Chains A and B, each alone.
Chain A
Amino acid sequence: DVKVTQSSRYLVKRTGEKVFLECVQDMDHENMFWYRQDPGLGLRLIYFSYDVKMKEKGDIPEGYSVSREKKERFSLILESASTNQTSMYLCASTPGQANSPLHFGNGTRLTVT
């Protein structure tokens, strides 16, 4: 079974802090994704990566950046956290074939105070 692991289940940070959310997958998947989930808005794509050191903006990239230095690890970075970034963050991965389903981690609930 594919395992997608997000390093933190819950995080509380202060406004202006730099925040790192880490995600690791163990199935050699090419594609990795970061979504945020908010009530009534479903999942919205922040960034995705289709290869090491490659990244593409999703639908809501503002205020975020990402890093993919190794194939198995995809990090989401909040350069200066703001209260409107309080959310559930979900990492996902898929192999390279088109239309493969996403495999999700359990999520990181981030609160910015």
Chain B
Amino acid sequence: GEDVEQSLFLSVREGDSSVINCTYTDSSSTYLYWYKQEPGAGLQLLTYIFSNMDMKQDQRLTVLLNKKDKHLSLRIADTQTGDSAIYFCAVPKAAGNKLTFGGGTRVLVKP
């Protein structure tokens, strides 16, 4: 089955860039997602990338996909205190709409 791995914690200074990494095992994925969970809230879709793309940029967010290495990353430029949250990568299973989530990376932005 699908296995999705993320590091647990990232600390970054306000104004610096953050890079959150994710590796997965199933190569049949189409869309790959990043979700953000703020304290006390559910998950919100942050961005996504289609598997035939290498990169997607959306304002301060850049998603990089290395399909050969099955590695997905999310870069947040000019990180702000409001970016402190848990970030989950999510990869669809081979069939249907079920997603496999990574364990989540807690990002702490220090002033």
**Residues of chain A at the chain B interface (Cβ within 8 Å):** 4, 31, 33, 35, 40-45, 48, 50, 58, 90, 92, 94, 98-107
Contacts and interface: CB of A to CB of B under 8 A. Distances in A.
B70 to A, nearest CB: 17
> How big is chain B's contact interface, by range?
20 to 34
A100 B97 contact: yes
A98 B97 contact: yes
Interface stretch (B12-20, B38-46, B52-60, B72-80): B38-46
Contacts of B42: 4, 90, 104-107
Contact of B33 (A90, A101, A105): A101
A14 B103 CA distance: 28
B92 A99 contact: yes
A29 B98 CA distance: 14
Interface string B58-84: 000000000000000000000000000
28 contacts: A4-B42, A31-B97, A40-B8, A40-B103, A42-B88, A42-B101, A45-B98, A45-B99, A58-B98, A90-B43, A98-B30, A98-B97, A99-B30, A99-B31, A99-B92, A101-B31, A101-B33, A102-B33, A102-B43, A102-B45, A102-B90, A102-B97, A104-B35, A104-B42, A104-B43, A104-B44, A105-B42, A107-B41
